[in-house]
């Protein structure tokens, strides 16, 4: 979700202007990060091979599910 209010990025500590980042609920509080920092963090996450593999498998399963239902609609 895009941030409606400015805040301090919890990843890099810099100011996040309104609409330039994402905010999320974390441990009962709202926190904000830059859109860029979210992307960087996602890249770092990819290097953790085991977790990435699990995510990929889930994504593949979801895609196959989607394709199947799509074909059913077409036929």
Which chain residues interact with Zn ion by CB under 5 A? 9, 11-12, 34, 37
User: Among residues 3 and 34, whose Cβ is nearest to Zn ion?
Assistant: 34
Compute the C-alpha angle 20/62/68, nearest 5°. Answer: 130
Residue whose C-alpha is closest to residue 55's, from 67, 68, 42, 41? 42
Between 12 and 55, name the residue whose CB sits nearer to Zn ion.
12
Q: How far is the CB of 45 from Zn ion (least distance, A)?
A: 16
**The Cα angle at residue 63 between residues 61 and 64, in degrees rounded to 5:** 65
Our CB check for Zn ion shows the closer of 41 and 57 to be 41
We find the least distance from the C-beta atom of residue 46 to Zn ion, in angstroms, to be 18
């Amino acid at each position: 979700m895009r941030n409606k209010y400015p805040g301090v990025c919890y990843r890099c500590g810099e100011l996040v202007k309104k609409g330039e980042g994402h905010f999320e609920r974390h441990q009962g509080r709202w926190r904000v990060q830059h859109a860029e920092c979210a992307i960087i963090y996602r890249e770092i996450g990819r290097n953790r091979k085991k977790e990435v593999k699990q995510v990929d498998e889930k994504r593949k399963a979801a895609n196959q599910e989607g394709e199947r239902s799509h074909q059913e609609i077409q036929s």
